[in-house]
A and B are shown apart, each in its own frame.
Chain A
Amino acid sequence: MSVKIKDFSDVEYVLPGSAACAGCPSTIALRIVGKALGENAIMLMTPSCAVASIGLLPKSCYSLPTLNICFASAGASAGGLSLALDALYEKGRLKGEKPTVFNWVGDGGTYDIGLQGISAAAERNDDFIHFCYNNEAYSNTGVQRSGATPLHAITTTTPLGKEVHRKNVPLLMLEHRIPYVATASLAYPMDLYRKVAKAKSIKGFKYIEIHAPCYPGWKFASSDTVKMSRLAVKSGAWLLWEGEYGRLTLNNPTSLLAKGKMELLPVEEYIKSQGRYAHLMKSPDKKSYLAELEEEVKRGLKFMAGRAELI
């Protein structure tokens, strides 16, 4: 499927006047996701920036029906809601086409407090799309570490930099052997759109994780959200891939980077304008820190490329 950005629907599902920060990656991503899903959709959200962005009742910046459920609930609530729709459509209580059910949840609600429920929904193959917009911290509560916070990044609860690695939840999802799992980036909107449209066309559990550089959390200029997204992909800090039933395919440009057909941008190019790494850049041990992060990136790329070769 080849979609050009000018082919995107002009219907907006994120309305002007949202309470999101300028340059918010969740809002940018949700605009594209809304256009790919269309109006016959039901959204579930757990506490996150995306909920704070709605605005206070009775205002709402999202024009899709939205359920704001509890923090650890996304997997079970979307699964229960989707199954209830199946029952109501089968019994003829609701007519027409079943809406697409999807979660719009941050890395806190996905990697950490909600992981159990999401894993269970994936294992049951419940019929919905789980979107994780991964801003690599609990940004909504003022930027605390999450399981998605990368090594050495400063958050308010890792004031000296995070000392441990982030999880690889998309890979965990792949190993649930669900119908579809993908990673995506704001800098590659057509790739994101294609993946959402594909997920919409598949019955069962779909997982799409979107890298979401957060300017107040990561401390870069609010105009640079998309630029930061692109640097993450080009440096190998964020990998683009998709998988079906456990079979993994790398997408471009990640695939080109893995094959050595495109040169990896130095990690320094990606992190140097992020305040959350400023302590590394100022450190007398800057070189060894950068070498460690380069190693981290290369390990990730090698691992996923190897995994793609396996099955």
Chain B
Amino acid sequence: MKKILDTGNAACALAVKAAKVDMVAAYPITPQTSVAEKLAAYIGSGELQAKYLPVESEHSVMSAVAAAAAVGARVFTATSSQGLLYMHEILHYAAGGRLSIVMANVNRAVCAPWCLYVDHQDGVSQRDTGWIQLYAASNQEIYDSIFLAYKVAEAINIPVMVNYDGFLLSHSMMPFEIVDQEIIDEFLPVFQPDWRLHPDWGGTFGNVTPSDEYAPFRNRLADDMIKAGELIKNYAREYKELTGHWHGDLFDVYRPEGGEYFLLSMGSMAAEMELAVDILRKEGIPATGLRLRVFRPFPGAELSRLLPPDAKLLVFDRNHAFGTGGGVLLSEAKSVLFDRKDQVKITGQVMGLGGEDLPGDYLAQKAREMMEVLK
């Protein structure tokens, strides 16, 4: 294994190459573009034996990879922001069709107004499409998450979106370790689907379905989505044993000892949150960082397990859940902790929209404000 210094997009493309995908379709959008370019270059040079489809829109991207996945190819695409929104219809199709697609979403604000910089509105807006969603906080984690994503997607036939922050990660150079190809091949063998859309297998796919047949399909997806949480935990451990790389499973917990205030967030702001936790701890405040790695399936039981009796949960949302007065993580956390019998207290704030800078001392100040609210 060797360590290199490169961007988050480079880490993503290197991992996709090592995952030996069969087919890539992509449409460029800032800040995803260099992922599409690097993969086109790998395929062009023969470093990656795969096909590249330069489609004319993101709706077509997802239409192309969904159909490619239906014949049993290992497929990849990447997008951002408006591109992800434009795919929305086919995101539902891909999950409902149980197609093992992996996609990177380089998180970026959505319009109007236009903005090129990070927030999580694009990803969280796809909450109910039936996709598994991972959120990375470093270039190493982007690299490692691609393999985890394929492992999970192909085991349970649910597509996986690997999210990482635009520019803050996609364009920032960070050191990360490249895993030897033999180890990747051991962790992620050639995809052997049970069924392919092909004359040798037969069958029609996506037919019109009466209610009594439709509901079980959708309910199975809902049930399997819950099961995917356990799979992610197991495969993260298996990957750790092979590579030594570990970013947590469903959560990455920072300074859990004696925690009373729990600072919940995801993406790169959650890595910055470690500085905020250090600042608060220095002030004698028993703060703990909870970095959510898996937004879907939402790890409610795990969150509850991490919170001791009478814990205070401070939620930092880089998105709006319009009409609720807060962000999506706040709504999710409140909903999964509703049944707690003890007095867990929850509050939250929305911040960091459109790439607004979130340094550690600012996050610490926001945490203090939220602590005041809970008093």
A binds B: yes
Binding site for B on A (CB under 8 A): 39-42, 44, 51-52, 54-58, 60, 62, 64-70, 72-73, 75-81, 83-88, 90-91, 93-94, 99, 116-117, 119-120, 124, 126
Contact A57 B210 (CB under 8 A): yes
Looking at B197-205, B287-295, B322-330, the stretch in contact with chain A turns out to be: B197-205
Per-residue CB proximity of B202-220 to A under 8 Å, as 1/0? Answer: 1111111110010000000
B16 interface contact, C-beta 8 A: no
A78 to B53, CA, bound (A): 11
- Chain A, Cβ-Cβ closest to B61: A76
Residue from B51, B64, B65, B208 having most chain A Cβ neighbours under 10 A: B64
| Additional pairs, 7, CB under 8 Å, beyond known A67-B197, A67-B206 | A39-B199, A65-B201, A67-B204, A76-B56, A84-B73, A86-B51, A120-B55
Tell which of B50, B67, B90 touches A87, judged by Cβ atoms closer than 8 Å.
Answer: B50
Task: Return the 9 tightest CB-CB contacts between A and B, nearest first.
Answer: A80-B64, A76-B60, A84-B68, A73-B63, A120-B56, A68-B206, A84-B73, A77-B67, A81-B67
- Report A-chain residues with C-beta under 8 Å of the C-beta of B190: 93
Hey, which bits of chain B sit against chain A, CB under 8 A? 22-23, 25, 49-51, 53-57, 59-61, 63-73, 75, 89-90, 93, 190, 196-210, 213
Determine the distance from Cα of A65 to Cα of B202 in the docked complex, in whole angstroms. 5
B354 CB to nearest chain A CB (Å): 30
- Residues of the A chain whose Cβ atoms lie less than 8 Å from the Cβ of B66: 69, 73, 77, 80
Output the least CB separation between B36 and chain A (Å): 15
Is A60 a contact of B67 with CB atoms below 8 Å?
A: no
Partner pick for A65 among B51, B73, B198, CB 8 A cutoff: B198
> Which residue on B lies nearest to A68, using beta carbons?
B206
Name the residue of chain B whose CB is nearest to the CB of A38: B199
Number of A-B contacts (CB under 8 A): 158
Q: Which residues of A contact B210 (CB under 8 A)?
A: 56-57
- Chain A residue numbers with a CB within 8 Å of B197 are 42, 65, 67, 81
Which residues of chain A are within 8 angstroms of B51 by Cβ–Cβ distance?
83-84, 86-87
Cα of A85 to Cα of B64 in the assembled complex, Å: 12
> How far is A47 from B167 in the complex, measured between Cα atoms in Å?
39
Smallest CB separation, A172 vs chain B (Å): 15
Nearest A residue to B192, CB-CB: A93
- In the complex, which residues of chain B have a beta carbon less than 8 angstroms from the beta carbon of A73? 59-60, 63, 66-67, 90
Query: With a CB–CB cut-off of 8 A, which chain A residues contact B204?
Result: 54, 60, 62, 65-68
* Minimum CB–CB distance for A74 against chain B, Å: 8
Least distance between A2 CB and chain B CB atoms (Å)? 28
With beta carbons under 8 angstroms apart, the residue of A51, A58, A76, A99 that contacts B64 is: A76
A residues less than 8 Å from B208 (CB atoms): 51-52, 54-57, 68
Greatest chain A CB density within 10 A among B23, B204, B208 is at B204
Q: A69 vs B97: C-alpha distance in the bound complex, in angstroms?
A: 10
Contact B23 A99 (CB under 8 A): no
Q: Which of the residues B49, B63, B198 comes within 8 Å of A42, measured between beta carbons?
A: B198
In the bound complex, do residue B90 and residue A70 qualify as a contact, i.e. CB atoms below 8 Å apart?
A: yes
Please report the C-alpha to C-alpha distance between residue A73 and residue B210 in the assembled complex, in whole angstroms.
Answer: 23
In the complex, chain A residues whose CB is within 8 Å of the CB of B93: 69-70
Residues of chain B contacted by A54 (CB below 8 angstroms): 204, 207-208
